[in-house]
């Protein structure tokens, strides 16, 4: 399954608003965020993410293919995505050694994984760039995190 | 060699990210020096994802790259690492050498010997050691080469050993005993050195300054 591009006008409008919000959040009091993607449905569900994944990262597109191959070889040290107590997924945020519950959310026709209380596309989210069931590519929203850790490639481990 | 591997594997440091290398030719067997010790060493975790600023790569004057007077019988093009000085010299001939400030192995991880550069790599990939994954489970298990990689901008693999001359994203560690036996330079310096030396370059690793120098 590939992610769809559009999810309706409501989602697009909401996402645009949230995208604009993202750049302002660190400079002053943020306006009250709208309900997180209430009218948009993400293209993937939490359950699709549960399991063990090989995880690798790259910065240059030229490294994407070999990074995916490298991720496939990392199942001996898997990144485990568990089921959260509230139906989300237990994943690690950058520089955080404890897993926390995140949710899959949609905005502006895109799918994100991030804290449940933040609107889709906020600084702490990662965008799901692609997902086909066995390989997921995610990109951090925060450009600082992108520069440090690059684009993440998850490859599902067998068994 | 066996002893080197034991110490190296015990450290599981960044030197071990790539183990395969061709056989050394015309090289001596490196010898590990000293015993592991917790004293007098810089305990700094790797900082994957940290991108050093140009400012932070401004070293103290004594560790900045510079041409120095250097007497040696070794031919031009030879690299001489003086571990105790924290300097790497690239012999120029005419009693001169280009000197770089380096970070060296911690106590118990230092070694000496003659090896050759077996392979060179721009922006080497990095694989965090297992204990780092345990501490920092959010890390990718493989990071394709890039500015935030602990191995820095360039790597030169030393013979068949697990050791390398490489860059670093931690400029503050230059001048310190910090590694698992590799020699690290700031990225601008390792790029400079990389461009000057070919595969096959002789690398002499010494502990104390040579009497001829």
Q: What SS3 state is found at A49?
A: helix
The CA distance from A16 to A6, in Å, is 13
Question: How does pLDDT run across B146-183, given as a tens digit for each residue?
Answer: 888 899 999 999 999 889 999 999 999 999 988 878 99
Q: What is the DSSP letter of A63?
A: G
What is the per-residue pLDDT for A18?
34
The CA distance from A141 to B114, in Å, is 48
The CA distance from A158 to B162, in Å, is 31
Provide the chain B residues 89-108 that lie in CB contact (below 8 A) with chain A: none
CB-based contacts of B55, cutoff 8 Å, min separation 6: none
- In chain B the first and final C-alpha atoms are separated, in Å, by 28
What is the per-residue pLDDT for B22?
34
Tokens of A81: 């995505």
What is the per-residue pLDDT for B15?
53
Question: How does pLDDT run across A114-158, given as a tens digit for each residue?
Answer: 999 999 999 999 999 999 999 999 999 999 899 888 999 999 998
What is the per-residue pLDDT for A4?
39
Selected residue with higher pLDDT from A101 and A6: A101
Facing residue for A148 by CB, picked from B51, B136, B137: B51
What is the Cα Rg of chain A in Å?
15
Confidence of residue B210 (pLDDT cuts 50, 70, 90): low
**Partners of residue B203 on adjacent β-strands:** B79, B115
What is the Cα Rg of chain B in Å?
16
Give the other-Cβ count within 10 Å of A123's Cβ: 18
Judged by CB atoms closer than 8 Å, whether chains meet at A58 and B133 is answered as no
Of B7, B6, B21, the residue nearest B119 (C-alpha)? B21
The CA distance from A103 to B10, in Å, is 39
The CA distance from A148 to B74, in Å, is 41
Query: B92 catalytic, yes or no?
Result: no
Selected residue with higher pLDDT from A110 and A32: A110
What is the per-residue pLDDT for B166?
96
ipTM exceeds 0.90:
no
Question: How does pLDDT run across A21-72, given as a tens digit for each residue?
Answer: 333 233 333 334 444 444 467 789 999 999 999 999 999 999 999 999 999 9
Facing residue for A148 by CB, picked from B125, B142, B148: B148
Would you say the pTM of this structure is higher than 0.80? no
């Amino acid at each position: 399954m590939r992610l769809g591009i559009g999810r309706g006008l409501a989602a697009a409008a909401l996402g645009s608003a949230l995208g604009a919000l993202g750049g302002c959040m660190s400079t002053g009091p943020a306006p009250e965020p709208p309900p997180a993607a209430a009218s948009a449905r993400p293209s993937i569900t939490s359950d699709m993410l549960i399991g063990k994944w090989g995880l690798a990262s790259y910065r240059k597109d030229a490294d994407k293919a070999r990074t995916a191959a490298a991720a496939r070889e990392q199942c001996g040290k898997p990144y485990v995505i568990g089921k959260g107590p509230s139906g989300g997924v237990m994943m690690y945020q950058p520089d955080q050694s404890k897993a926390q519950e995140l949710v899959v959310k949609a905005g502006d026709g895109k799918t994100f994984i991030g804290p449940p209380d933040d609107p889709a596309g906020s600084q702490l989210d990662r965008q799901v760039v692609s997902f086909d069931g066995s390989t997921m590519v995610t990109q951090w929203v925060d450009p600082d995190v992108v520069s440090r850790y690059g684009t993440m490639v998850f490859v599902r481990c067998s068994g | 060699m066996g002893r080197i591997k034991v110490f190296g594997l015990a450290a599981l440091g960044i030197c071990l990210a790539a183990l395969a290398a061709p056989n050394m030719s015309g090289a001596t067997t490196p010898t590990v020096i000293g015993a592991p010790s917790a004293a007098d060493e810089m305990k700094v975790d790797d900082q994957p994802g940290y991108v050093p600023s140009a400012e932070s790569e401004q070293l103290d004057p004594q560790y900045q790259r510079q041409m120095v007077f250097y007497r040696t019988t070794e031919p031009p093009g030879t690299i001489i690492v003086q571990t105790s000085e924290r300097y790497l010299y690239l012999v120029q001939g005419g009693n001169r050498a280009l000197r770089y400030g380096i970070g060296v192995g911690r106590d118990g991880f230092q070694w000496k010997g003659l090896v050759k550069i077996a392979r060179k790599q721009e922006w080497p990939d990095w694989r965090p050691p297992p204990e780092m994954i345990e501490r920092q489970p959010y890390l990718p298990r493989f990071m394709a080469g890039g500015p935030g990689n602990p191995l820095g901008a360039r790597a030169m693999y030393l013979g068949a050993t697990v050791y390398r001359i490489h860059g670093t994203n931690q400029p503050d560690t230059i001048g310190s005993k910090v590694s698992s036996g590799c020699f690290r330079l700031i990225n601008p310096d390792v790029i400079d050195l990389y461009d000057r030396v070919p595969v096959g370059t002789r690398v002499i690793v010494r502990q104390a300054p040579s009497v001829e120098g």
